[in-house]
Structure 1
Amino acid sequence: MKKIFILVFVSLLFIQCTSVKRHNNHLNDLISEEKLKSDVDFTYKKLKRLHPNLYWYTSKKDLDFKLDSLKMTIRKPMTSLDFYKKLSPVVAAVRQGHTFVYPSVKLMTKKETKALVKKGTGPFSQFDFDYFNDKLYVIKNKSYNKSIKTGTEVVDVNGIKPKDLIEEYSKFYSSDGYNTTLKTRSAGRRFSSFFSTQNGIKDSLRFNFKYNDSLKVITIKRHKEDTTKTVKKIKKTLTAIDRIKSKALKKKKKVNGYNSDLKNYNRNLHFAERDSSVAVMKIRSFKNGDFRTFYKESFSKIDQYKSTTLVLDLRDNGGGRVTEIANLYSYLSDSTFVFLDKAEVVSKSSLLKGAYFNGGSFGVKAVKTIFSPLVYTYLLLTVHKDKNGKNIYATQTKPHKVNKDSFKGKIYVLINGMSFSASSIISSNLKGSKRATFVGEETGGAYNGTVAGFMPLVKLPNSQLKVRIGLMLIAPHYKTEIKGRGIFPDVSITPTLQDQIKGTDPEMDWILNDIKSTISEIPKTE
């Protein structure tokens, strides 16, 4: 049995290595005009078969015109990357942030990836960047070269100007609807991925830095921490208290969702004031960790500490599980609520073929085929037509009761352009129910919903590009008449470059000052 397992493992490893090698060997191949045009037609066919409400923001007439125009511009063979640059803007014209084209880039085997990680941290990963007024700045220097100050402008990298690359690649993806804050807020963080897509992963980069009108060229290399000077840890016997602390830390990592790369927690709760009157809940995403336990314990603690104000920080929260935001909302709503409308799908088969059978190895697909009758029976029972003839799939649509530990006090919600998907859906309901005061900037996710849920990757037959397509139109219970825009803040505050450099938080500062001013306005009773 052991020999069979080893043989299977080696075989799979060989197949994976061969597949990666084959992919990389054809990256720069020229693909014929006919095949590229065929991929354009294939993309549109899949969008129509899988994407509900495809013409929500761009009419069929306009989208047809864009695709026909695209095919007319294909007049010579091109590489998959060149084709990606032509196809992506058209797919982005659907204006759904979950639907986009992945570029075809050089792949690495597991062995190569492991070897690269052993070599140390790449040059881009040694900095945090942000983009202000068409300029890229170093917001945090984590590199071995400590002479690079926070607030230093990146004039170019290997001769490539950030503004040129960011403007080119910003055409290749979209927010939901007509919102612009997602792109402006995420541009600095995406720059390194734009550069790597265009130029590959590099072990060293030549940065042209500018600080106080002084220019300096510095080469940053892949860096590995020196462990030779590490003092040997002295073994010590763990006491009962040590074991309790270790167990508590392990539980916290599991419940809060610990990110070992960033060394932070996905969910956090702390109290901003000494008297615990202001609870601050920071949620970086609605993924990873045991959310039910976290919210149960957190709101129990908030109730125990008699907090009168809750600040829910959803800045930079890209979304996640619908079940989690519905659970969280049960602690925030002040009455029985309906969280979502029934989700619209193209058809039963769009869920079966588009999501269930999409992706996976031959073995996985074989197992799925065996269980497909059960899945199809489930879809027959759950997907049905409404009075308007649309196929709908019910999830989180029944009336929910508020949780027994639901928060009764005042709620503030912090949002920005990178508050997207699930974080926008819960924000829509909080905004529509007038349950919270919003501070920050317009969300990247649309107020009236998004097309997401199951999101299969569809591989194009000739260029091998992959298109991600959302299969379910997920809409919050509350809506706005303003089409294609996000949740607008009640108090608009956008951090400046100096805020980033100094590490100040003007949005949180405004909230804390507003709480204090409200308290001071309450008349004292004798």
Structure 2
Amino acid sequence: MKTTIWPLLLVLLLGAPRMVFSQDEPAQRQLTVEQQQTDFRLFRAALEQVHPGVYRYTPKARFDALFDSVYGRLQAPLSEQAYYAMLTPLMVQLRCGHTKFIPAQRDDKYPYHTSQLFPLRLHLLGGRAYALYAYDGRNIVPPGAEILQINGRPVGDILTGLLPYVSFADGATTTAKWLELDAFFAGYYAAFGQAADRYTVQYRQPDGRLAQAELPATTLATIKAVEKQRAPAPRYPVRLEFLPNDVATLTIDHFWVGEQEEPFEKFLASAFRQLRARGTKALILDVRNNEGGMDGYGSLLYSYLARQPFSYYSRITTHPRRVAIQEQVHSEWFYGIYRHLLISRAKDGTYEYRHRQGLKRQQPQKKAFVGDVYVLTNGWSFSATAEFATAVRAQGRATFIGQETGGAAGGDNSGFFAFVNLPHSGITMGLPVWSYYMAQPGSHPERGIIPDYVVEPTAADVLSGTDPEMQLAQDLIRKKAEAAARQ
């Protein structure tokens, strides 16, 4: 189990949804210094004792200094929001996109000031922001206009100030952070910026003229309703489509299967059987916005593309069977069985989980696809998807188009999840308990898979529904076919 499963587990383990929203935001409490310090000690213990990769990307000496620095600042009463804002950047220093930090009884993307949210849906590109539409539908700021200032503050400064609060990234990757901020700017700005009843927006119109508008804040209920209305029609999450000239596209929205869906193994067998039967020469594999799922599905998919035997994971590590804060740690009931039966101590003192198919040397499928492969990725190609992309890149099996994956090539911290509640602030910590290490992470394991062709959609692309990544893939296939025909 990887990134997409944890919200359901949180509900099952803690008995009630933590990610809720209403027009009436819960009142904030003031936390005493003693309450802050008590929660902080549990916060630190949870990271140090439960998280399997707390020092994977930030050395222990650096983390210890950060812990001590923040603890030393707990000298006066703080609101729940102020306390949340103080701890979040420290949690972000894990550089682990699977670690979650959720204020009690609040929406995880819009936790505070839900009646004072920024009223424009933005598109972020290159540290700049462009208006897509207004949540009230009036579009006083024209779609495509570049937002220059909000309430007198340059947008570049605002974005730079918000990034330290965005945890959705592994290692040194940043693409997922920008997509997260793009999708939920209003929530981040209200929680960690400056919520207001009205927003003065300075902008550059598409024709280059400068203008200004004063816009009333919107509410979370309005944002939810608009986003639901504008959402694309549901589609089956795994789709094989055939294009002219012996080209096919295989889209995989996630690596897990719902109750009404065909088993993934069965779908792949059928899909690649169809590719062989039709003599497909080029396959465009679209895993953009695929945040992960079952780890075995990534290696299974790769076995249909591989040209030689391959290793997927080198090791999977975890924490000891019992920790000092065991009573505060909630996890799946069956995980205890797994831990006692399947986890062993390695010679270096770490604990390893050794019973996973991905740890074994694997063979390609007997009738694996032999044509050209083009993989489309972006920052939300994460977790099991980034692992798959790492395996593909290691054997040079595909041409990559799009943006750097949000998951790091070295692997990730995911698998099963444990949850710890901070009693006074009400914050729930969702912690992965396995660390996956890829067998062939490349020379920069802290980075994601960087495409051969970097393509970033513009605001104009988003507004017109243009797909520049897919267009480039088809252009490259066409040009290769034309060049072969001339020989």
Aligning the two structures, in what range does the TM-score lie when normalised by the shorter sequence? 0.7 to 0.9
Tell me how far 1:200 sits from its aligned partner. 13
Q: Distance in 1 between matches of 2:94 and 2:421?
A: 18
Q: Distance in 1 between matches of 2:230 and 2:370?
A: 35
Greater CA drift, 188-197 or 419-428: 188-197
- The aligned counterpart of 2:239 is 268
1:333 is the counterpart of 2:306:
yes
- The aligned counterpart of 1:343 is 316
Tell me how far 1:511 sits from its aligned partner. 2.2
Q: For residues 74 and 515 of structure 1, do their structure 2 counterparts lie closer, same or farther at Cα, with a shift above 3 Å needed?
A: same
Whichever residue aligns with residue 67 of structure 2, its letter is L
Tell me how far 1:45 sits from its aligned partner. 1.0
Q: For residues 285 and 171 of structure 1, do their structure 2 counterparts lie closer, same or farther at Cα, with a shift above 3 Å needed?
A: same
Tell me how far 1:107 sits from its aligned partner. 7.2
Tell me how far 1:390 sits from its aligned partner. 2.1
- The aligned counterpart of 1:181 is 175
Corresponding residue to 1:136 among 125, 129, 132: 129
Structure 2 counterpart SS, 1:130: strand
Tell me how far 1:339 sits from its aligned partner. 2.5
1:278 is the counterpart of 2:247:
yes
Corresponding residue to 1:468 among 430, 435, 444: 430
Whichever residue aligns with residue 170 of structure 2, its letter is D
User: Do 1:106 and 1:200's aligned partners in 2 also have CA atoms closer than 8 Å?
Assistant: no
Q: Distance in 2 between matches of 1:443 and 1:132?
A: 16
- The aligned counterpart of 1:246 is none
User: Do 2:117 and 2:195's aligned partners in 1 also have CA atoms closer than 8 Å?
Assistant: no
1:11-58, CA deviations, whole angstroms, 9 ceiling, x for partnerless residues? xxxx979xx99xx99842211112212222211111111112321111
- The aligned counterpart of 2:453 is 491
1:171 is the counterpart of 2:164:
yes
- The aligned counterpart of 1:297 is 270
Q: For residues 160 and 302 of structure 1, do their structure 2 counterparts lie closer, same or farther at Cα, with a shift above 3 Å needed?
A: farther
Within-5 A mapping of 1:439-458: 439-458=401-420
Structure 1 counterpart SS, 2:388: helix
- The aligned counterpart of 2:3 is none
Within-5 A mapping of 1:55-204: 55-104=55-104, 106=106, 129-139=122-132, 144-145=137-138, 149-153=142-146, 166-174=159-167, 175-195=169-189, 197=191
Structure 2 counterpart SS, 1:348: coil
User: Do 1:181 and 1:417's aligned partners in 2 also have CA atoms closer than 8 Å?
Assistant: yes
Q: Distance in 2 between matches of 1:483 and 1:135?
A: 28
Q: For residues 126 and 399 of structure 1, do their structure 2 counterparts lie closer, same or farther at Cα, with a shift above 3 Å needed?
A: farther
Output the TM-score relative to the length of structure 2.
0.78
- The aligned counterpart of 1:387 is 347
Greater CA drift, 141-150 or 27-36: 141-150
Q: For residues 515 and 446 of structure 1, do their structure 2 counterparts lie closer, same or farther at Cα, with a shift above 3 Å needed?
A: same
Q: Distance in 1 between matches of 2:326 and 2:370?
A: 45
Whichever residue aligns with residue 184 of structure 1, its letter is W
Question: Percent identity between the aligned chains?
Answer: 25
Within-5 A mapping of 1:287-326: 287-289=256-258, 290=262, 291-326=264-299
User: Do 2:382 and 2:405's aligned partners in 1 also have CA atoms closer than 8 Å?
Assistant: yes
Structure 2 counterpart SS, 1:401: coil
Q: For residues 523 and 29 of structure 1, do their structure 2 counterparts lie closer, same or farther at Cα, with a shift above 3 Å needed?
A: closer
Q: For residues 483 and 292 of structure 1, do their structure 2 counterparts lie closer, same or farther at Cα, with a shift above 3 Å needed?
A: closer
Whichever residue aligns with residue 403 of structure 1, its letter is Q
Q: For residues 127 and 186 of structure 1, do their structure 2 counterparts lie closer, same or farther at Cα, with a shift above 3 Å needed?
A: same
State the aligned residue count: 443
Structure 2 counterpart SS, 1:264: coil
Tell me how far 1:488 sits from its aligned partner. 1.6
Q: For residues 284 and 16 of structure 1, do their structure 2 counterparts lie closer, same or farther at Cα, with a shift above 3 Å needed?
A: closer
Tell me how far 1:76 sits from its aligned partner. 0.3
Q: Distance in 2 between matches of 1:405 and 1:260?
A: 41
Which structure's CA Rg is the greater one? Answer: 1
Tell me how far 1:336 sits from its aligned partner. 3.3
Tell me how far 1:183 sits from its aligned partner. 1.9
Point out where structure 1 has 5 or more consecutive residues left out of the alignment: 1-14, 109-121, 225-258, 361-367
Within-5 A mapping of 1:387-406: 387-394=347-354, 395-396=356-357, 397-406=359-368
User: Do 1:27 and 1:104's aligned partners in 2 also have CA atoms closer than 8 Å?
Assistant: no
Structure 2 counterpart SS, 1:494: coil
Corresponding residue to 2:330 among 355, 358, 362: 358
User: Do 1:348 and 1:380's aligned partners in 2 also have CA atoms closer than 8 Å?
Assistant: yes
Whichever residue aligns with residue 88 of structure 2, its letter is S
User: Do 2:117 and 2:190's aligned partners in 1 also have CA atoms closer than 8 Å?
Assistant: no
Greater CA drift, 504-513 or 47-56: 504-513
Q: Distance in 2 between matches of 1:344 and 1:461?
A: 29
Select the structure with the greater relative contact order (CA < 8 A; seq sep ≥ 6).
2
Q: For residues 494 and 377 of structure 1, do their structure 2 counterparts lie closer, same or farther at Cα, with a shift above 3 Å needed?
A: closer
Q: Distance in 2 between matches of 1:303 and 1:353?
A: 52
Tell me how far 1:393 sits from its aligned partner. 0.8
Q: Distance in 1 between matches of 2:376 and 2:59?
A: 34
Corresponding residue to 1:430 among 392, 417, 427: 392
Q: Distance in 2 between matches of 1:405 and 1:65?
A: 54
Whichever residue aligns with residue 129 of structure 1, its letter is L
More strand by share: 2
Q: Distance in 2 between matches of 1:411 and 1:144?
A: 41
Tell me how far 1:282 sits from its aligned partner. 2.1
Greater CA drift, 505-514 or 28-37: 505-514
Structure 2 counterpart SS, 1:412: strand
Greater CA drift, 160-169 or 502-511: 160-169
Tell me how far 1:459 sits from its aligned partner. 0.9
Greater CA drift, 472-481 or 445-454: 472-481
1:38 is the counterpart of 2:38:
yes
Whichever residue aligns with residue 462 of structure 2, its letter is Q
Q: Distance in 2 between matches of 1:338 and 1:107?
A: 40
User: Do 1:415 and 1:439's aligned partners in 2 also have CA atoms closer than 8 Å?
Assistant: yes
Q: Distance in 2 between matches of 1:468 and 1:478?
A: 28
Greater CA drift, 306-315 or 293-302: 293-302
Whichever residue aligns with residue 234 of structure 2, its letter is N
Tell me how far 1:449 sits from its aligned partner. 0.4
Q: Distance in 2 between matches of 1:267 and 1:125?
A: 35
